Amino acid sequence: MQEPSSTGRRPGGLTCARILQRHGIFPSVYDHETGPGARDQGGTLDLHKDNGQIALREAGLLEEFFRLSRPEGQEMRQLDPAGTLLFQHTPDEGERFKPEIDRGHLRDLLLGSLKPGTVRWGHTLRSLDGPVEGPRQLHFADGTTIEADLVIGADGAWSRVRRALSPSTPRYSGVSFLEAWFHDVDDRHADIADLVGRGSAAAADGDRGLFAQRSSGGHIRAYVIQRLPADWITAGGLTVQDTEGIRALLLERYRHWSPRLRRLLTDNDGLYVDRPIHALPVPHVWDQHPAVTLLGDAAHLMPPLGVGVDLAMLDACQLALALVDNDTVGDAVRAYEATMLPRSQEMQQLLDNGAEELLSTELPDFATTEDH
């Protein structure tokens, strides 16, 4: 049998590859980027004890994750637009339910655990064909073609592998993020650092929101959350490079918010990053193919409510173990999808229109059980 092929260097694909290698199966991971340092890896994420940490334990990386993670990042603050603190969760000493880790640190942990040469950089997938029963052929932009008994689409929201299984594409949720970066915050942005604390801080008024989160190394990322058309920047006669013009729009839209919170709109270092929020239709299902499957956002893209990477890594773990435990690839895919699809449908339905929750003024469910 040929080895499985995964597309995408996201945590799900790398986790699947790592677990397979621990069981003597050596897949190839094809990535369109030129190398591990090709782009910024994003902010921070939490890995939960009941999904992401399960995958890391199976990968033999849980203790190293705990060494790299920031349990203090579990701190969460909820404010109103006037800047009044409504609720604060401070993690207990030794709390490990969902410690934070920088996306780049998690990616490097997973990459470093793989056999050299596992990831094939600079491979942009153009198309996928071949017999339904396999082997399938992957055609890349550089003219190369490879065959694989199993293709695992771990290639994110705009997955090309998904096209072999489903006509569905992500739809705009009606809510858009504008990302802003702050560097060397304890010295250069001390007031923002104090506002956000060791973890994250959020505020919303029902139509607009702000969410800021600390990363390691003195960095904070803030997200301006608005219910807007996806093309709101160009519709306003601006480009994403027009920092001052965007700031003027934001200051008008958040004019009733406290000056302290509005510093998250105006004091950022560098350009804003436009991130309209998309999600796949609910539910997203497909007819089973024995030589192609999906995991993570390729299978069940949802609004960013803190579960995406955890579910992708749990998908990866369960798929890898199914491949180890079943006699044929087709049997493994059937066993994996029999568990993954119902789980993802349940979560998709729970988070359907969940982008709206990012604008809600309601406190978290557990706020009433914690001291303010």
Length of the chain, please? 372
State how far the Cα of 141 lies from the Cα of 204, in Å rounded to an integer: 44
Do 285 and 341 meet the contact criterion of CB atoms below 8 Å apart?
yes
Q: How far apart are CA 8 and CA 133, in angstroms?
A: 23
State residue 161's pLDDT score: 97
Give residues with Cβ within 8 angstroms of 317, minimum separation 6. Answer: 15, 16, 19, 54, 55, 58, 59
Return the CATH number of the domain spanning residue range 172-278: 3.30.9.60
Placement of tokens 């008008």 in the chain: 252
HSE at residue 355, side-chain half, CA atoms within 13 A, is 23
Q: 366: pLDDT confidence band, cut at 50, 70 and 90?
A: very low
Distance CA 369, CA 96 (A): 19
Q: What is the mean pLDDT of residues 237-252?
A: 96
CA 326 to CA 332: how far, in whole Å? 5
Q: Mean pLDDT over residues 184-200, rounded?
A: 96
Query: Which band of pLDDT confidence, cut at 50, 70 and 90, is reported for residue 38?
Result: low
* pLDDT confidence tier of residue 190, bands split at 50, 70 and 90: very high
Which tens digits make up the pLDDT trace of 97-144? 999 999 999 999 999 999 999 999 999 999 999 999 999 999 999 999
User: What are 6's strand-pairing partners?
Assistant: 29, 152
Q: Is the pLDDT of residue 367 over 50?
A: no
Q: Sign of dihedral through CA atoms 131, 135, 137, 138? A: positive
Tokens coding 294: 């999906």
**Count of alpha carbons within 13 Å of 82, Cβ hemisphere only?**
3
Which helix (H) or strand (E) segment holds residue 323: the answer is helix 308-325
- C-alpha 155/C-alpha 158 separation (Å) is 7
Look at residue 371 and tell me whether its pLDDT is greater than 90.
no
pLDDT band at 42 (very low <50, low <70, confident <90, very high): confident
The per-residue pLDDT for range 248-279, each reduced to its tens digit, is: 999 999 999 999 999 999 999 999 999 999 99
State the pLDDT at residue 104.
Answer: 92
CA distances, 52 to each of 48, 106, 203, 279, 296 (Å): 5, 11, 27, 21, 12
Span 41-70, mean pLDDT?
A: 94
pLDDT in tens, 313-351: 999 999 999 999 999 999 999 999 999 999 999 998 888
Residue 91: count other Cβ atoms within 10 Å of its Cβ.
Answer: 18
Find the distance separating the first CA and the last CA of the chain, reported in whole Å.
58
Phi, psi dihedral angles at 221 (to 5 degrees):
-115, 135
Over pLDDT 90: what percentage of the chain?
84
pLDDT, residue 363, reads: 60
- Mean pLDDT for 30-53 is 85
d(CA 281, CA 302): 9
User: Taking the domain 5-70+98-169+280-357, which CATH number applies?
Assistant: 3.50.50.60
Give 363 or 198, the one with higher predicted confidence: 198
**pLDDT digits over 74-90, tens only?**
999 999 999 999 999 99
113 CA to centre of own chain: 20
Residue 369: predicted pLDDT? 38
CB 304 within 8 A of CB 277: yes
Nearest to 159 by CA among 315, 344, 6: 6
Sequential DSSP letters for 145-199: EEEES-EEE---TT-SGGGGT-----EEEEEEEEEEEE-SHHHHSHHHHHHHTTS
Q: What span, in angstroms and rounded, lies between the C-alpha atoms of 84 and 87?
A: 9
Q: Using DSSP, state whether 130 is helix, strand or coil.
A: coil
Q: Where are the domains of the chain?
A: 5-70+98-169+280-357, 172-278
